[in-house]
Amino acid sequence: MDRLLIALGIAVLAAAVALVLRQRRRPDAPTRATGSVPTQLDRADFARPDAPWLVAVFTSATCAGCADVQSKAEVLSSDDVAVDVVEYQAQRDVHRRYGIDAVPLLLIADEAGVVRQHFAGPVTATDLWAAVATAREAP
C-alpha cells in the first residue's frame, strides 16, 4: 500500500511538472509569406535614378529563366526607361534590402519609385511591353 501511494504521488508530481512546462512553451513564431513584392523602391539604389521610369530585373546566376526575362527587359532601355539588372551574387545587399526571395522578379517603377507593375517568373515580351506602356500612360 505504501508503494502504491508513493507511485501515485510521483505520477501526480510528473503530471504537474508536465503541465507547467507545457504552459511555459512559447508559441510558434508567425510565418512570413514568401514571394512578396516591394511596393516602393529607392531610385538611388538603381541605375539612372533621374530617368522617368525604371525596370528593375532581380536575377540570379543560378536561375534558368532569368536570362530570358533579362534579355526581354533590356530591349526597353531608352532615354525615358532605365533598365537595371540586379543579379543576386553581385548585389546581395539590394536583394536583402527589398526582401527579394524569388527570381526572376521584374518591377516597373515610376520616377518616385512607386512600383506600378511587376512580374514574378517568366514573362512574354508582349506582356512586358504592354505593362510598361500601360504604366507610362496612367496618370
Maximum Cα–Cα distance across the chain? 94
Residue 13 lies in a domain: no
> Which range of residues forms the domain containing residue 125?
43-137
Asked if the structure places residue 18 within a domain, the reply is no
Domain count, the chain: 1
Question: Within a domain: residue 65?
Answer: yes
Alpha-carbon distances of 8 from 1, 19, 20, 65, rounded to whole Å: 11, 17, 19, 66
Q: Which amino acid is at 9?
A: G
The residues pairing with 120 across neighbouring beta strands, listed in sequence order, are 105
Full-model pTM? 0.74
- Confirm whether 16 is domain-assigned: no
Q: Is 16 helix (H, G, I), strand (E, B) or coil?
A: helix
Residue-level pLDDT, tens digit, the chain, 139 residues: 778 778 778 888 888 877 777 777 666 655 555 668 999 999 999 999 999 999 999 999 999 899 999 999 999 999 999 999 999 999 999 999 999 999 999 999 999 999 999 999 999 999 999 999 998 888 7
Residue 1 located in a structural domain: no
Residue 9 host element (H or E): helix 2-24
Report the pLDDT value the prediction gives residue 31, as an integer from 0 to 100.
Answer: 56
Residue 10 within any structural domain of the chain: no
Q: For residue 76, what is the domain's CATH number?
A: 3.40.30.10
Phi, psi of 129 (to 5 degrees): -65, -40
Whether 19 is covered by a domain: the verdict is no
Q: In what order do the strands lie in the sheet with 81-87?
A: 81-87, 53-59, 105-109, 115-120
With respect to residue 78, please indicate whether it lies within any of the assigned structural domains.
yes
